[in-house]
Structure 1
Amino acid sequence: MDFKKTAAGILENVGGVENISNMTHCATRLRLNLKDQSKANDEAVKEVDGVVNVVKKAGQYQILIGTEVPHVYDEFEQLVKGNGQIVLDDEAASDESLMSKIFSSISAIFAPLLPALAGSGILRGLLILAVQLGIINEGSGTYVILFSASMAVFYFLPVLLAFTAARRFGASPYISALIGAALLHPDFLSLMGSTGNGAMTSFMGIPTVLMNYNSTVVPIILSIWAFSYLYKWLDKHVPETLKLVIVPLVSLIIMVPITVIVIGPIGVYTGEAIANLVNWLIERSGLLTGILVGGGWSVLVSFGVHWAVNPIMINNISQYGFDYICPLTFACNFAVIGTAIGVYLKARDSKLKSFAMTGVVTIALSAIIEPTLFGMLVKNKKLFLAQIIAGAVGGAYLGLMKVVTNAFVFGSVTTFPSFIVNNANIINGIIGLGISVIVGAVLGYVFTNKEDKLA
């Protein structure tokens, strides 16, 4: 794929530079906010080399490309704004619904961090396995170094999220990162003493509740969202000759105390409440949760709104060290693998067989289901239903057995080390995902006609 040519073709057929109000990307999609979606030629965009499909969801014009989307995004960004900086057009996006804004913001904030989260999670799983096998001694220098490498992304998550949130909300990424870093400074943490969360101090006479912000998600996102308004006001009103000093000075003096006194505690308690609610539901009925998430995850992915759930999983991993929801997303992915295998075994059309097997390999290695989902399953209602049923059955088992992952990862064969918690968890994980593959393969085979072709 010629990334520059692909980006140019997309830009030409979505109405040009003047029709772009905002842009971002996730693991597989170029996500555009268009000022006027009627100016986009869907069929022409689909014909661009490298484009798999076009989806209009969550207030965005989503162009499915696949795992090469970061390269296409880089070229697209250069074409839209030669200096590589996207200026948000708030007026153009004002017609976007609140829910759509939330979904698109979550996607933009977390997508750049997915490689770091996934890589760290796999390293953590492999380190746990190495300890269990006696290859590495817990507490040794080797263990500490690798443990630090695997956990750094979670400990410093507020700094990383501050940077990506700033790019989404239109604030300075570097000042935002400093705000996040201030919350993790050892001297700040020492104020809590042995009390921990809930310890009290004061700031200029104002009573302040102290919280430990390492590994948290919600507080820093809320803080940078609020900071973006202050930053834009300062950038507009401070003389150009004074911006270098005044903007960061005023930003830090105002935002760090406000975050510590008001935004931070609200964010921590809100994030914990959401996570506790989800985990409570899973504990109450793991079977039902497994059916709903395992069977319905592909539906959320097809609408592009699954990003709303990802922060809950990330928060669970960072706060508790494990998560119940992530394994259920594995069930969906492995159900798609099974369905594709069933299609491959039944179909006679060489293009359809090739596409199905490519999907199996792609998902097994990279956990990217969108090409198979949109290219084959969505077009055939029976096959789409087959993978939903398979995901629900496999998810039901995983939920019933309370299977967890120790990292936030996308479901594939390469990310299976995230199940390394204890032997029972590993075995039940294998059984649950095996159920998804087998049921998907059987139903995919049954629902496929030998004469079916790749539409």
Structure 2
Amino acid sequence: MDFKKAAKEILESVGGPENISNMSLCATRLRLNLKDPSKANDEAVKNVDGVINVVNRAGQYQILIGTEVPKLYEQFEKLINVDEVADNDSSQEKSGSIISNIFSAISAIFAPLLPALAGSGILRGLLILFVQIGWIKEKTGTYSILFVASMSVFYFLPVLLAFTSAKRFGASPYLSALIGAALLHPDFISLMGSKGNGTVTHFMKIPVVLMNYNSTVVPIILSIWAFSYLYKFLDKHVTENLKLVVVPLVSLAIMIPLTVIVIGPIGVYGGELVANLVNWLIEKSSILTGIIVGGGWSVLVSFGIHWAVNPIMINNISTHGFDYIVPFTFACNFAVIGTTIGVYFKAKNIKLKSFALTGLITIALSAIIEPTLFGLLVKNRKLFLAQIIGGAVGGAYLGLTKVVTNAFVFGSVTTFPAFVQKNASNFIQAMIGLAISLIVSAILAYIFTNKDEKLA
């Protein structure tokens, strides 16, 4: 794929740089906020070499590329005045719907961190496995080094999220990272003493409820969102010869106290409330949750709105060390794999069989379901139904057996270590649940596929 040529053709087909108010990417998609969506030529974009499909959902023009989307994004940035796009972003937020802005922000903030989160999670699972089989002993240097390597991304998540949030909201990434780092400074943490969360100190006689912010998600995002307004105000009104000193001085002097006094506690309690509510629902009706998420995840992915759930899973992993929702997404992915298997063994058309086999390999190794989802399932409702049923049945079993993962990962064969727990049955039950998803969807897809079926 010629990324430079593809970026130029896409840009021309969506109305040019002047029609773009914001841009971001996720694991597989280039996401654009268009000032006038009617100027975009969907068919022209779809015909660009390397483009799999186009989805216009949740206020975003989403161009499905696959795992090579960062390379396209890099070329796309070169063709656009990034600063001008960032300036336009504030007006877009005012004119766009709240839901659209939330999805856009979540996508832009978390997408750059997904490789680090997934890689660290798998390393953590492997470390647990190696301890269980006796290859590595706890309280050794080897264990400690690998533990730090696998957990640092979660501990310093406020710093990383501060950086990506700043790029999304239009603040200084480096000052934002400093705000996140201040929350993790040993001297700040030591103020809590042995009492922990809820300890009260004072800042200029103002009570400060201290919290442990390592591994938290919501507080720093809210803080940088607020900081973006202060930063833009300072950048606009402070003269150029004073910006070097005044902007960082005022930013840090205001935002760090404001964060620890007001924004931080609100973010911690708010984030915990949402996460606890979701986890409570799972505990109360884990089977129903498994059916809904396992069966419906592919629908969310097709609309590009699954990003709204990802922060909850990441928060669970970073604060509790495990998550119930991620296994349900595995059920969805393995149901897609099962569907491709059923199609492969029933269809006679060479192109269809080849497409199904390619999808099977892609999902099994990289967990990317979009090519198969848009290229096969969305176009064939019977096969989509087969996948949904398979995911729902497998998800119900995973919910029944309370399977968890120790990492936020995408469901594939290569991410199985995420199921490794000290309780060995968790891995076994996970494999059974995923096998159920695969087998049920494979059987249904075989039944629903006509022998003379062709790739639409």
> Same fold per TM (> 0.5)?
yes
Q: Encode CA deviations 1:369-419: one digit per residue, 9 max, x unaligned.
A: 111000110000011111000000000000000000000001000001000
Matched, 1:76 2:80: no
CA contact (8 A) 1:128 1:420 kept: yes
Report what 2:256 is aligned to: 256
Report what 1:223 is aligned to: 223
CA contact (8 A) 1:117 1:409 kept: yes
Report what 1:425 is aligned to: 426
- Runs of 4+ aligned residues of structure 1 deviating over 6 Å after TM superposition are 82-85
Matched, 1:318 2:318: yes
Q: Encode CA deviations 1:23-72: one digit per residue, 9 max, x unaligned.
A: 00000100000111111100000000000000001100000011111110
1:94 counterpart SS class:
helix
Following superposition, the deviation at residue 293 of structure 1 comes to: 0.5
Structure 2 matches for 1:141-220, cutoff 5 A? Answer: 141-220=141-220
Report what 2:273 is aligned to: 273
Report what 1:448 is aligned to: 449
**TM-score, scaled relative to structure 1:** 0.99
Following superposition, the deviation at residue 253 of structure 1 comes to: 0.3
- Residue type of the partner of 1:90? S
CA distance in 2, matches of 1:24, 1:89: 11
**TM-score, scaled relative to structure 2:** 0.98
- Residue type of the partner of 2:442? A
Structure 1: gaps (5+ residues): none
Cα distance, 1:85–1:147 mapped onto 2, change above 3 Å: farther
2:196 counterpart SS class:
coil
Following superposition, the deviation at residue 87 of structure 1 comes to: 4.0
Report what 2:112 is aligned to: 112
Following superposition, the deviation at residue 85 of structure 1 comes to: 8.0
1:415 counterpart SS class:
helix
Matched, 1:298 2:305: no
CA contact (8 A) 1:13 1:41 kept: yes
CA distance in 2, matches of 1:433, 1:264: 39
CA distance in 2, matches of 1:82, 1:190: 41
CA distance in 2, matches of 1:247, 1:83: 19
Cα distance, 1:285–1:118 mapped onto 2, change above 3 Å: same
Matched, 1:337 2:337: yes
- Residue type of the partner of 2:70? P
CA distance in 1, matches of 2:386, 2:248: 55
Identical-residue share of aligned pairs (%): 77
CA distance in 2, matches of 1:150, 1:82: 34
CA contact (8 A) 1:21 1:93 kept: no
CA distance in 2, matches of 1:8, 1:444: 39
Report what 1:56 is aligned to: 56
Which deviates the most, 343-352 or 396-405?
343-352
Following superposition, the deviation at residue 92 of structure 1 comes to: 4.0
Which deviates the most, 95-104 or 117-126?
95-104
Report what 1:284 is aligned to: 284
2:348 counterpart SS class:
coil
Cα distance, 1:176–1:82 mapped onto 2, change above 3 Å: closer
Report what 2:437 is aligned to: 436
CA distance in 2, matches of 1:4, 1:46: 16
Q: Encode CA deviations 1:69-108: one digit per residue, 9 max, x unaligned.
A: 1110111011113789844432245331001100110011
- Residue type of the partner of 2:7? A
Which deviates the most, 212-221 or 347-356?
347-356
1:32 counterpart SS class:
strand
CA distance in 2, matches of 1:413, 1:163: 31
Q: Encode CA deviations 1:282-310: one digit per residue, 9 max, x unaligned.
A: 11111101001100101111111111100
2:413 counterpart SS class:
coil
CA contact (8 A) 1:77 1:86 kept: no
CA contact (8 A) 1:340 1:356 kept: yes
- Residue type of the partner of 1:321? G
- Residue type of the partner of 1:276? N
- Residue type of the partner of 1:344? Y
CA distance in 2, matches of 1:82, 1:222: 23
Q: CA RMSD in A?
A: 1.1
2:94 counterpart SS class:
coil
Structure 2 matches for 1:286-435, cutoff 5 A? Answer: 286-421=286-421, 422-435=423-436
CA distance in 2, matches of 1:435, 1:7: 41
Following superposition, the deviation at residue 325 of structure 1 comes to: 0.4
CA distance in 2, matches of 1:88, 1:177: 23
2:90 counterpart SS class:
coil
Cα distance, 1:99–1:83 mapped onto 2, change above 3 Å: closer
- Residue type of the partner of 1:310? N
CA contact (8 A) 2:21 2:85 kept: no
CA distance in 2, matches of 1:185, 1:84: 35
Structure 2 matches for 1:239-254, cutoff 5 A? Answer: 239-254=239-254
Structure 2: gaps (5+ residues): none
CA distance in 2, matches of 1:14, 1:281: 42
CA contact (8 A) 2:15 2:40 kept: yes
CA distance in 2, matches of 1:27, 1:439: 28
CA contact (8 A) 1:78 1:84 kept: no
CA contact (8 A) 2:22 2:85 kept: no
